[in-house]
Structure formats: C-alpha cells, structure tokens
Amino acid sequence: MRMKFYTLVSILISAAITLPSVGAQGRGDAIVIRNARIFTVTKGVIENGSIVITGGKITAVGASVSAPGGARVIDARGLSVYPGMIDSGTTIGLTEVGQGAPGTVDTSEIGDNNANIHVDIAVNPESSHIGVTRVNGTTTALTMPRGGLIAGQSALINLDGWTWAEMTLKARAAMHINWPGGLGGGFEFGGGQQRAGAELRREQDRRIEELKKILRDAIAYGNAKDARARDASLPRMETDLRLEALVPVARGQMSAVIHAQVERDIKKVIAFADEMKLKIIISGAVEGWRVADQLKAKNIPVIIGPVNRMPNREDDGYDAVYTNAAMLHKAGVKFAFQTMGSAEARDLPYQAGESAAFGLPKEEALKAVTIYPAEIFGVADQIGSIEVGKLANLIITDGDPLEIRTQIKHLIIRGRDVPLTSRHTELYDKYKSRP
C-alpha cells in the first residue's frame, strides 16, 4: 500500500492500453499471405515469403511457414508486403472541415496550459479522413492537440476501429509544447527580413521562463503528492489537473514533443531540455540540419515535416527542406516524418520519397515512416516492422509504397483486411457511373 502515487497511475494507464481489444469485424480471423516479397524493414527482404496473421498479430513470417487450418489465403504473387506506415504528426480524427465548420474542429483548446487534455477520447472514428488516409497505406498516426503553449497530450491511433478506444494504440503518447516565439530566420519578401527584435526576444525568454516555472511546479507538486501518499498525516492538497498531467513530463518519464522550426529556437529547446532534464522529441525542425550535430550529441529524435514547404531562409538552397532528412541521417540523428495535417495525411509516403530524391537512402526513407517512429514513440514492440509478435499492420502493394503510382492492394490493420474504400472511392463510384 505504500505504492507511489505515480506508479499507480502509470500502472492504471498501461492497463488501459493493454486491455484486450475487441476486434472489429473479422479481426479474429486467421490470414495467410502467400508468395509475397516481404519487406520486413528490420530483418531484410524475404523473396516469395509468407506471413501468418492470427488474433490480430503476426504469428509467423518466412519463406516457408505453416498456416492454421481455415486461414484465409491472400495470394500476393507479384506483390510486396510492407509494414503499415506511421504518420508521426497529424490531427486525424480531430478535424473534418478546416474552415467554415468550426464545429468539426477539435484541435486547439483555449488557454496557455492545456497539459491535462488528451486527444484520444475525441477521435471521431467515423471521420472521413481516416478512410481516405489509410487506403494510401498509413495504418497508424500520432494525432495531436495544437493550441496554447502546452497543447496537451497526443495519441497513437490505428486507423481502424469501431470506437476511439479500439483505435487507440497508445493514449497519452507525448506531451506537446509549442515553443514560444518561433522567431526569425525566415523572410518575407518585400516586407524585409523577418527579424527577431529585442522586444520579441525578451518576450520569448519570458515565455520560456514561464514554461520552466510550470515544470518546476509540476515537480514540486508530484513530490508533494508522493510525500502525502507515504505519510497520510500531511495536510490534504488540492488537485491541479494541469500540474498532475505534467509530472511524468517533468520527471523525464513521458516524452515532450516540442514544436520548433528554426536554428535559434532548436538550440534553445536543446538547452531547455538539458536544464529541465526532459525527454524530448523535436517536431518540425525545418532547420534541423543546421544543428544536426547538437541533436546527435544529445540523442534527440526529430520529426520532420511537412517536407512540402519553402526553404526557411531566402539564401537557403532551393532544396534545403528536401535535403533536411539526408543531413540529419548523415549526422546520425533519429528521425521520422509527419504531415502535420489530416486531409494531407495520405501524402505521407511522398514526404519520405522526396527526401530520398535529395540524398536520403531509400531504406532510411522507408524506416522513417515505419520502424523509426515506432521507436521514437516507444511502440516498436508492437508496430513498425514485420516481425512475429507485432500487430498485423500491413500493406500489400504492387510496388514501392513511397512511389506515387504504386497501388495498395490490401490493407491490414490489427489483423483485419480493411476494405479499400473511403468517402472518396464512394463518391467516385457513384459519379463515374452517372449516365
């Protein structure tokens, strides 16, 4: 009974995550994929191999495997199997129509400190974006809150399920912090160089101090709670939901995704994380390549994207955003890709592909949408590669999934062979046959 308060909480959370998930339709059925070229991502390529899926998981992979009787066979002759792709930053499920329909948008809460909100419970399983995204090969996405200085907690969701609970792979995946200021480095043509004047710099520093204070408060709060759990004679203390949510972050137990783009900000983020002893992931990082060595030295993972944007500085090479990933890779920084959107999420593979066009090895590009994000978010034991014991999140394609012309032939999420339909295919089918 002398269990620490937070240990208890984390046990409860992990229990929630590992609750036996009631499969969507067909989830329990066994499937065997035959005659496929299997890109395991972590264990090489298996030519003409098979994969057995039972109970939503991969139970066998190899050149010759034995399938349980009654398993449905997918003949993948001439096709390839890849792990389902992972988008490391989206708002899928939280937004439907960007402008003019605020009722469909749940991305940004009011206020500066929204540490307590967690998006998993607001994911709309019926969102048309889910189907549209997954039919292009993304099976898992980090969906995240966007508003305030501390935006709240993201969730890793599988893009299939009857309810948000079924979809959730990892609730409270990370705490999202929008780095204050976001200053300088860019330019506005005609408006002159975008400058970080002294006042703006002071303002940024003030906000960073604010953030530090909140985190220090969280530590004190957590310690006090622990102390009270040990010693019931201590006076009762008021619950502060925001600080409570920040305790694991402040203790370095929960990752903080800090959204920062430019060199100066990233450097400040690194120093901040060092001082506060946080476990961080940097998101955005359009100028990550400028600080690649420092990121490597601190082993800070980076989530790149969207890659489809203009270089940050006028004098950057025209290809500066495309080469960002290659330069981070060269420095040994771990990275993944994100689309930072919802409607745009189906184009995730092309972000990796375009980075490969500009110097990133193709295998690395594939890893950055499969195993790397799984590692970064601590779910590599469940997704990110084709290995026995992992969730059966797979795509069967007629070619390289990073190539635009490639077609997805099967999409399997947690063992379910998900129909390749979406709001878009439905509208297409309807109007294509208009007389």
**Contact footprint for other proteins (CB under 8 A):** 96-101, 128-129, 132, 184-185, 187, 189-190, 192-193, 195-202, 206, 263-264, 308-311, 313-315, 317-319, 342-344, 346-347, 349-350, 353-354, 356-358, 362, 402-407, 423-425, 427-428, 431-432, 434
How far is residue 395's CA from residue 355's CA, in Å, rounded to a whole number?
A: 22
Q: Looking at beta carbons only, is 244 or 263 nearer to other proteins?
A: 263
CB of 429 to other proteins, least distance (A): 9
**Element containing residue 41 per DSSP (H, E):** none
Q: Looking at beta carbons only, is 116 or 425 nearer to other proteins?
A: 425
Residue 199, judged by CB atoms within 10 A of its CB (0-12, 13-18, 19+), counts as exposed
Contacts of 159 by beta carbon, 8 Å cutoff, 6+ apart: 92, 130, 133, 134, 138, 139, 140, 141, 167, 413
51: region left, alpha or beta (phi > 0 left; psi from -120 to 50 alpha): beta
What strands, in cross-sheet order, belong to the sheet with 280-284? 85-90, 138-143, 150-158, 168-178, 256-260, 280-284, 302-304, 335-337
Q: Looking at beta carbons only, is 66 or 308 nearer to other proteins?
A: 308
How far is residue 346's CA from residue 282's CA, in Å, rounded to a whole number?
A: 22
How far is residue 304's CA from residue 282's CA, in Å, rounded to a whole number?
A: 8
Among 420, 414, 381, 429, which Cα is nearest to 398's? Answer: 420
Q: Looking at beta carbons only, is 170 or 264 nearer to other proteins?
A: 264
Q: Looking at beta carbons only, is 4 or 423 nearer to other proteins?
A: 423
Q: Looking at beta carbons only, is 349 or 384 nearer to other proteins?
A: 349
How far is residue 331's CA from residue 289's CA, in Å, rounded to a whole number?
A: 9
Helices 5-17 & 241-250 angle (0-180, nearest 10): 90
CB of 213 to other proteins, least distance (A): 13
CB of 368 to other proteins, least distance (A): 14
CB of 203 to other proteins, least distance (A): 8
CB of 306 to other proteins, least distance (A): 10
Helix (H, G, I), strand (E, B) or coil at 278: coil
Q: Looking at beta carbons only, is 285 or 408 nearer to other proteins?
A: 408
Distances in Å between the alpha carbon of 56 and those of 160, 209, 270?
12, 47, 40
Return the bridge partners of 393, or none: none
Q: Looking at beta carbons only, is 116 or 294 nearer to other proteins?
A: 294
Q: Looking at beta carbons only, is 106 or 344 nearer to other proteins?
A: 344
CA dihedral in degrees (209, 215, 216, 220; nearest 10)?
160
- The alpha helices in 251-380, defined as continuous H runs, are 263-276, 292-297, 320-331, 348-357, 362-367, 371-376
CB of 175 to other proteins, least distance (A): 26
CB of 221 to other proteins, least distance (A): 23
| Inter-residue contact 320 to 311 (CB < 8 Å) | yes
Q: Looking at beta carbons only, is 201 or 228 nearer to other proteins?
A: 201
CB of 292 to other proteins, least distance (A): 18
Residues counted in the chain? 435
CB of 404 to other proteins, least distance (A): 4
Longest pairwise C-alpha distance within the chain: 79
CB of 428 to other proteins, least distance (A): 4
